[in-house]
Chain A
Amino acid sequence: MMLNRYALVQRNEVSLKSIMLVPLVTFILALLGSMVLFGFLGAPPLGGLYRLLIDPLSSAYNISEVVIKAAPLILIAQGLAIGFRAKVWNIGAEGQLIIGAVAASVIPITYPESQNVLMLPAMILTGMIAGAAWAGIAAMLKTRFNASEIIVTLMLNQIAMQILYFLINGPLKDPMGFSYPQSVSFPPVAMYPLLSGDGMLRANASIFVVILLSIAALIYVTRTFSGYTLLVGGLAPSAASYAGFSAQKAVWITLLIGGAAAGLAGVGEIAGPIGRLQPTLSPGYGFAAIIVAFLGGLHPVGILLAGTFMAIVYVGADGAIIDAGLPPAAPVIFQGMVLVFYLASFALVHYRIVRIQPEARA
């Protein structure tokens, strides 16, 4: 067995340079891999890649679409990553996004004619509190009864969805909406201002919120003592207990942060591209953000890049399927390849391959 002769040995020190190289190497390998695959599928390899990766950046409209998709991915991933570093596994961002959006939408639905400029800030605040409260249910069950936060957050996704369906078919439904399950359109004060004056592009000011929160996340994880205690809890629970860092507090902090970020992302959807409450608020941003968080190395800067990248692939996928004749699975395969190559290069940065001395028979 050839493989028996090699072993992975942990490196003592990992250089920053090699960590920075990981995404680049990942990207190049994924490009090469998909060119080969697209070739086998009978599509022109370069054409497919062009549609998937370059086309989304080739026009102002497409770039604006990328920004719209990147915003929720990055926001949610920043929140989740803080929890993942502490080994608190919140996989209920989708539900937290929905609850944040539903709670925030109550304001514009109640005052559809309002011109009060404080409406959007009020929605943002409401959405964050509601998302955090929804995640807080998992935190309470975890700290009180030691219920797995993985299961609880996952199941709360379904409950959130049903709450949305109930409200959108009942109290929050537009009475003039020809019985479509959707709310009234929000007034302009309930919307993020668009970036372009002419209204041709959908990208809006929520991107500044994303950038601000990413900076806040960066400061939180690298500079604050609170961020440090969470990391210790994730890496070595006994050391956290020895130092007196409360594990329960860590569960609360991380789930509340994650929920608030997802709730904020939910507000970004209804107060942005959607403009009302409707049954589908997210194409699975809450789950895709888990991949973004890990692709970004659970680091705020990495997440910013990874989220943008995932958004490009999202936008490019539509064009690639229609124009380049790729099967619908191709973009997913490309995402999968990125993840696999990322994990492999990440492992090689932290471990090195050592050749074991050839064995002689005794």
Chain B
Amino acid sequence: MKTKVGNPPPLLRLQNITKRYGTYVANDSVDLALEQGQICAILGENGAGKSTLMKTIYGIQQPDEGEIVWNGEKVAVTSPSVARDLGIGMVFQHFSLFETISVVENISLTVPGSLPELSEIIRQKADQYGLNINPESPVHGLSVGERQRVEIIRCLMQDPKLLILDEPTSVLPPHSVKQLFETLKKLSGRGVAMLYISHKLEEIRDLCHSAVVLRQGRVTGTANPQQATSAELARLMIGHDIPTARHAEAKPSCEPALAVSDLVYDNPDPLGESLDSVSMVVRPGEIVGIAGVSGNGQSTLARLLSGEIRLQGDEAGSIRIFDRSVGDAPPGMRRQLGVTFVPEERLGRATVPTMSLADNVLLTAHRAGLVRKGLIRRRQQADFADSCISDMDVRSRGRQSIASSLSGGNLQKFVLGRELLLKPRILIVSQPTWGIDVGAAAMVRQKLVDLRDTGTAILMISEELEEIFEISDRIHVMYHGRLSPSVQARSVTAEDVGRMMMGEFDQTMRAA
């Protein structure tokens, strides 16, 4: 359903857009044209300049050179409100909704009109585009997919001609992705053009009419995604083929390394996630994946396992590491037993943002001989940091670089490198490839598989289903604080897991 408009002036044309941050060129003479109703994919690794380009179009920042031509007229998009007046809307990767108020109240913050009027318009738009949502629902009760629908409706309230979507499916279960695509295709049919940022090549092939590939700030190619294969698109994006993780059948031993039995946790925070009777086992030499949409209790589970949240003494036995009851043990004691952790927040939790990489190594690696008699051993510390950087190909200006100056992917490689160098017997990793580019993600996954093959027990929490399937041996699904029984990754389909992600394991799986 490619929409071609005969008249020459395209809806949006970028000419020679250049944006620099100091000496770093984020966008280098980018040209791009977009017709009405056209869905154009913006492909590229992290740091390729996609977000910079979108921010320029949406008026969050100004280009240093080049111009934006809108409907044949040169415009200066000096702020998002100017962009919205032109008819440009943006759906962000991270939602900007207030949890404690309702959908319509959230929308009324940016769209003029009385609440009843707005509710009516929301219902109309929702009907029109199949975005099922109740305007009166409070946001904290909505699923991630529903929240995204609210964001999209908020954009649609202003009748946009161009919609920018920044990795919209990264947070959605497969079922909601399908719904989203139907909505987007309807919008395209009505002449709304879209710029669609994503890492997921299959989706781009399903949805987009054209694709522009960015690498190091430059347009390195364009492709017709319906004709190109995913492998071809990937090659355009990173400049070489992506390796998929080698993944032989696991040979787990039978003694569990990590055992969780009937773990119950009532979160004192009313908006936090509670856990209800979670049980699982991870054995040396296997990767157990926990799938599920974020916000279903995964982060609470991860903190309970790491010791950042501790259980009361009498419940401590529900978490056991090498058959020792550790539910009430502090993080340090668990690490002493050979567990390391890679949390999902790299900046601020896995690392101290304002400290150098060398100092960030000390955070967890101080046990590895970097401290003697209470004094930091600078030589060993520097060596350890250098090993992290070289083992994982962390691109930085060396160990004195400040953690926050690294890109997400490089910081994740650094954190993983640090935890791997500690030679863990159990590794617990959350969202290992969240927001990092395909090249780095492939490397991270391969490292996990390699580690598994050395006999480490790995628990991986991830909401990327492809990743779960690529490297897990067994899969659990988390839904509303409950954990499904495990299924063998090789004998289950994505559809089955997708259904489990919507909570359909209680009846079927327990009966089985």
A residues adjacent to B (C-beta < 8 A): 12-13, 223-226, 228, 232, 235-236, 238-239, 241-244, 246, 356-357, 359-362
Contacts and interface: CB of A to CB of B under 8 A. Distances in A.
B78 A235 contact: no
B359 interface: yes
Contacts, number: 83
A225 B352 contact: no
Interface of B: 62, 64, 75-78, 82, 85-86, 306-308, 330-333, 335, 341, 343, 345, 348-355, 359, 362-364, 366, 371, 374-376, 397, 400-402, 405
Contacts of B307: 244
Given A235-B354, A361-B76, A243 B364 contact: yes
Contacts of A225: 362, 366, 371, 374-376
Contact of A13 (B62, B331, B348, B400): B400
B349 A228 contact: no
A243 B343 CA distance: 11
A235 B353 CA distance: 8
Nearest to B85: A362
Contact of B363 (A13, A226, A239, A356): A239
Contacts of A246: 330
Contacts of B333: 244
Q: Which 7 A-B pairs have the closest CB atoms?
A: A244-B331, A244-B332, A12-B405, A357-B62, A360-B76, A238-B349, A236-B352
B362 A228 contact: yes
Given A226-B374, A361-B78, 10 more contacts: A224-B374, A225-B362, A228-B362, A228-B376, A232-B363, A236-B354, A238-B349, A239-B352, A241-B349, A242-B343
B350 A239 contact: yes
A223 B378 CA distance: 9
Contacts of B371: 225
Nearest to B375: A223
Contact of B350 (A223, A224, A242, A357): A242
A343 to B, nearest CB: 18
A97 to B, nearest CB: 28
B146 to A, nearest CB: 28
B59 to A, nearest CB: 9
A360 B77 CA distance: 9
A225 B381 CA distance: 12
Given A242-B341, A362-B75, A232 B331 contact: no
Q: Which of B77, B78, B363, B376 has the most CB of A within 10 A?
A: B363
Contact of B359 (A224, A228, A356): A228
A44 to B, nearest CB: 46
Contact of A362 (B64, B76, B330): B76
Nearest to A232: B352
A91 B308 CA distance: 30
